[in-house]
Chains A and B, each alone.
With several copies, the nearest count.
Chain A
Amino acid sequence: MSEEADGLLLDIDGYEGPLDLLLTLARQQKVDLREVSILQLADRYLAFIDAARHLRLEIAADYLVTAAWLAYLKSRLLLPSDPSEDDGPDAEEMAARLAFQLRRLEAMRGAAARLMARDRLGRDVFARGAPDPLVVERQTEWRVTLLDLLQGYARSSTRAAYTPLHVERPKIYAMEDALRRLGQNLGIALDWMQIEAFLPPDWREPRMVRSAVASTFAATLELARDGALALRQAEPFGPIELRRISP
């Protein structure tokens, strides 16, 4: 560890940022912060960062940014200022600005400590432990007009007149079901068979039969078009017959 580190713990984690580290280093100059030598401070900071790097400690980027900034400031402070060349803020101003930041941070730290040392509620002073709650008596004024009343009556007495209409959907034998059933049973139709033989046996009710016949007939048309079966009807309204066509 370098001498410049001055026994400081080389633990970056122990500092709340570069300004905190700078303040700690400045305090070690053991002078009033108003007389701190920024040049000397920059040197110490750079030495600290060097030492930390030497130990391969992980250093957050903002410490490095500050190191670069201080190196720049140092070079500017050491060089005589050239009035003909105006590049950026005056070095003295920058140094004064940094000194101000250090003084302000230190002042805020001191203020924080004094604030925290005050008698605090719940620690040093106490409020009434069993306060009497303020009883809020809520008076509710109900707003109802005669019209509300009449409308209410009208609403409730007409409600009974309307019972919701439930339309029961009739059972429909779907075309897909008919196609499936025909496909499964077509093997038995090696000779002409009446279409009724292919109706679902459990569809007995007249309306259901009608639906089953319609869907089954539509399904035979579909299969006939595909060339899977042949259809015939001898006379108008006569029985419809079908037969499988062998592939």
Chain B
Amino acid sequence: MSDGSEQKGLGFAPPDADEQERMVEAMLFSTVEPLSVEAMEKRMPRGSDAAEAVRRLEARYAGRGVTLIRVAGKWAFRTASDLGFLLRSEETATRKLSRAAVETLSIIAYHQPATRAEIEEVRGVAVSRGTLDLLLDLEWIRLGRRRETPGRPVTFVTTEMFLDHFGLESVRDLPGIQELKAAGLLDAQPQGGIAVRETEEDDDDETVDEDQSDLF
């Protein structure tokens, strides 16, 4: 506003401080990107002092539901961080697990600890990374001990959460092959005969904390 008087001399008085604050408020509200003081001043009537207007506006919005913040030397309105929860809504959707995921999970349950190669052998198709990630995410499976065979592949085992979800006391409660057959779930005797292996539930999760990304 240093040149305010000069402007006045020309008959173009800059708007008063309240008006300038309104202008800055409207600009900052409607802009897509944060605005610099210079950019705002350029659009305001000559003789305006955008920096001062921003200072006043910042004070006005202090502690409000929306506050004025400085981003890389520019200004922008942002929702007060403590109110972020209002901008969030929760939706629960029920979804069916994919066939691949159900089969993979069941193979791990029956064969645990099972390596990826073993799962693939039973299913006859490659197991996608996404399927294992989803099951790990749901915490229905976790990483077990590495198999002491060449390449030391990781194994997968089921979790407590898995037992909880399916209402099982232990994996030994899973019906055996003969029972599945009796229930009409198995139509043919699979080659090689699959038995439910005794699981070693006390396997410790020594490998769990390893970075998982290189495991698959």
Q: Which A residues contact B (CB, under 8 angstroms)? A: 16-20, 22, 61-62, 65-66, 69, 89, 93-94, 97-98, 100-101, 103-105, 107-112, 114-116, 118-146, 148-162
A66 to B213, CA, bound (A): 28
CB<8 Å pairs between A and B, sample of 12: A16-B124, A19-B123, A20-B125, A101-B194, A107-B183, A122-B92, A129-B29, A144-B97, A151-B185, A153-B107, A158-B188, A160-B191
Which residues from A are CB-within-8-Å of B175?
111, 114-115, 118, 150
A24 to B127, CA, bound (A): 20
Structural contact, A144 and B96, CB atoms closer than 8 A:
yes
Q: Which of A101, A122, A135, A148 contacts B97 (CB 8 A)?
A: A148
A109 to B107, CA, bound (A): 9
Structural contact, A161 and B191, CB atoms closer than 8 A:
yes
Q: Which of B51-59, B98-106, B142-150 lies at the interface with chain A?
A: B98-106
Known: A66-B194, A122-B94, A131-B31. 14 other contacts (CB 8 A): A16-B125, A108-B103, A111-B175, A120-B167, A123-B88, A125-B79, A127-B76, A127-B77, A130-B77, A137-B89, A142-B138, A144-B97, A150-B175, A151-B102
Structural contact, B122 and A108, CB atoms closer than 8 A:
yes
Structural contact, B180 and A20, CB atoms closer than 8 A:
no
Q: Which of B93, B102, B192 contacts A152 (CB 8 A)?
A: B102
Structural contact, B93 and A139, CB atoms closer than 8 A:
yes
Q: Nearest CB to that of A154 among chain B residues? A: B185
Q: Which of B29, B76, B94, B122 contacts A157 (CB 8 A)?
A: B122
B32 sits at the interface (CB 8 A): yes
Structural contact, A107 and B180, CB atoms closer than 8 A:
yes
Return B80 CB to nearest CB of chain A, in Å: 7
Classify chain B: how many residues form its interface, as a range. 35 or more
Structural contact, B192 and A93, CB atoms closer than 8 A:
yes
With A100-B189, A157-B186 already in contact, the answer to whether A150 and B106 are too (CB < 8 A) is: yes
Q: Nearest CB to that of B111 among chain A residues? A: A108
A34 to B138, CA, bound (A): 36
A123 to B93, CA, bound (A): 7
A29 to B196, CA, bound (A): 25
Q: Nearest CB to that of B181 among chain A residues? A: A154
Q: Which of B26, B78, B102 contacts A121 (CB 8 A)?
A: B78
Which residues from A are CB-within-8-Å of B154?
none
Structural contact, B125 and A19, CB atoms closer than 8 A:
yes
Which residues from A are CB-within-8-Å of B166?
115, 118, 120-121, 144-146, 149
A169 to B17, CA, bound (A): 85
Which residues from A are CB-within-8-Å of B70?
none
B16 sits at the interface (CB 8 A): no
B109 sits at the interface (CB 8 A): yes
Return A67 CB to nearest CB of chain B, in Å: 11
A160 to B94, CA, bound (A): 32
B130 sits at the interface (CB 8 A): no
B6 sits at the interface (CB 8 A): no
With A128-B29, A155-B103 already in contact, the answer to whether A65 and B197 are too (CB < 8 A) is: yes
Which residues from A are CB-within-8-Å of B96?
142-144
With A114-B175, A144-B97, A146-B167 already in contact, the answer to whether A135 and B89 are too (CB < 8 A) is: yes
Structural contact, B194 and A125, CB atoms closer than 8 A:
no
Structural contact, A139 and B188, CB atoms closer than 8 A:
no
Structural contact, A108 and B194, CB atoms closer than 8 A:
no
Most chain A C-beta atoms within 10 Å of own C-beta, residue among B88, B94, B174, B196: B94
A93 to B190, CA, bound (A): 11
Q: Which of B31, B33, B122 contacts A104 (CB 8 A)?
A: B122
B87 sits at the interface (CB 8 A): yes
Which residues from A are CB-within-8-Å of B174?
111, 115, 150
With A107-B185, A111-B174, A155-B103 already in contact, the answer to whether A124 and B76 are too (CB < 8 A) is: no
Which residues from B are CB-within-8-Å of A103?
183, 185
Q: Nearest CB to that of A152 among chain B residues? A: B102
A211 to B197, CA, bound (A): 54
Q: Which of A66, A105, A112, A134 contacts B30 (CB 8 A)?
A: A134
With A149-B105, A152-B106, A156-B106 already in contact, the answer to whether A134 and B93 are too (CB < 8 A) is: no
Structural contact, A162 and B188, CB atoms closer than 8 A:
yes
Structural contact, B103 and A112, CB atoms closer than 8 A:
yes
B168 sits at the interface (CB 8 A): yes
Structural contact, A129 and B193, CB atoms closer than 8 A:
no
